[in-house]
Amino acid sequence: MEETNTAASSPCIFCNIAAGTTPAEIVFDGGDTLFFHDISPKARVHVIGIPKQHVESLGKIRADHHSMIGKLLHDLAHVAKDLGVDEGGYRVVTNVGADAGQEVEHLHFHLLAGEPLGPLNAGRAG
């Protein structure tokens, strides 16, 4: 998918949330970034952070995206602080492609926090 998605025609749910045509519980609007609560939270705090620009995944990042990625992660750290989870700690995850279980093909970082998150077991039990 190219970076030319428009609100009117986009099949991308996160582009639609960025455009305001699909509702979401917004946590922070960073201008070129947006943070909102995950519709199906996997932790007590589960926020999704996106660039408003459509990029499919971290795997599709180009050199001209570098400042966008830096801004997105910087905003994410501020959101964690605003939510009061920075001292307790938090986890940041991005899924790329099928093996990682990426469902929404618009680059996003999961901010997970608010309780002990357990080991990063990559889906393997034990």
User: Residue from 101, 119, 123, 126 that binds ligand 5GP (CB under 6 A)?
Assistant: 101
The alpha helices in the chain, defined as continuous H runs, are 13-19, 66-82
Q: Is 103 in the site for ligand 5GP (CB under 6 A)?
A: yes
What 3-state class would DSSP assign to 110?
A: strand
Q: Is 12 in the site for Zn ion (CB under 5 A)?
A: yes
Stretch that binds ligand 5GP, among 31-39, 58-66, 76-84, 118-126 (CB under 6 A): 31-39
Structure tokens at 29: 């609007």
92 binds, among ligand 5GP, Zn ion, none (CB under 5 to 8 A by kind): none
Do 49 and 43 contact (CB within 8 A), yes or no? Answer: no
Distance CA 126, CA 119 (A): 10
48 and 28 Cβ atoms separated by less than 8 Å: no
Site membership for Zn ion, residue 106 (CB under 5 A):
yes
1-20: contacts with ligand 5GP (CB under 6 A):
13
Catalytic member of 65, 66, 74, 108: 108
**The one segment of 26-34, 37-45, 59-67, 115-123 that binds ligand 5GP by CB under 6 A:** 37-45
Q: What distance in Å separates the CA atoms of residue 12 and residue 7, rounded to the nearest whole number?
A: 9
